[in-house]
Structure 1
Amino acid sequence: MTKLGEKLPHLEQDPAKIFTIFDQSGISIDLTLPGALSLSKGGNSQYTATLTLKNDTKFTVTSAQFKVTLNNVYDNNKSLLLANVGWKGSEVLPQAVQEMSFILDAAVLANGSGSCSPKVTGFSNVQWLATMNNGLGTENFTTSLTSVQLTSDPDTENGPTLVVL
């Protein structure tokens, strides 16, 4: 128990949570962010996000490029803007941007996973800037997969069986 006048610790971010923002035909993209945030009016928070491409196909993914848009957060009634959200570098300038392109760092083997990096070096932080409104809302992500290149493993037996008599 705290004594009168003692400050309680302020938990700003919940532990990291994986959000699957793309999942199609055995390829998925996961974005790791805090499960929840608590901000004061006019406050801000920053978190270094990680993006991972999972390859649950029988092919090697040799390259991938995709865009992730971080939409602003509105209250559950969609009437009040609660926070502006964007991709931010580690420096004070430039300002955060809502859309960022990412590329796969290295080829991902069948049933493997690999890291992805922003095309603009260093812009791997997500920044939330709270407005002067209070409320509760959930963020929505928009993802577009620009291109994925797959190569087959020459040793993969994925064709018809041939019997010669």
Structure 2
Amino acid sequence: MEELIAKRYLKAIKQSSDAQTMQNVALIFSVLAQSFNDEKFNRIINNPDVSKNQKSEILLAAVKSVGSKDVDNLIKLLAEHDRITIIPALAEIMRKDIAKTNKSYSGIVYSDSDIDAKVIEDLGNGLGNRFNSKISLKFVKNDFNGIKVDVEDLGVEISFSKSRINSQIIEHIVKAI
């Protein structure tokens, strides 16, 4: 539900902003969204005893140094309609929209063994060429027995499992005999 509401706000923001302004607003809201990870902050924002104006003032104080009327007005609008809690969803929707517009995505490479940075870069370049976009990959070591590449925003997941490859080689050898 939050995502649908956030998409409507995104549409309005996009109509009244250029690409650079959109990136700045997205950056501001991504920082604000991180505040929602703090338990104390959530208690204040979700407290019914704190008025809409007080919640608005807290958020406006956080973004005061930016000096953007658009951001201030958006925060006031969200507070007025009791939609402050959609800020994390709005930040994520903005991030995805900018990635789609710029055709620049990020992904994660999972493996149980270390992978050279050059190999990760080559994987990103290869996928980028395949999808006509720029893909930057980050390595995360975990217990996956093989290599798994996940670019969530594109909906792409590629995996090569060592055990599956070994079983297919054995099957092939058995069939050849």
Q: TM-score, with normalisation over the residues of structure 1? A: 0.24
From the two aligned structures, give the one with the greater strand fraction: 1
Q: Which has the larger radius of gyration?
A: 2
From the two aligned structures, give the one with the greater helix fraction: 2
Q: TM-score, with normalisation over the residues of structure 2? A: 0.22
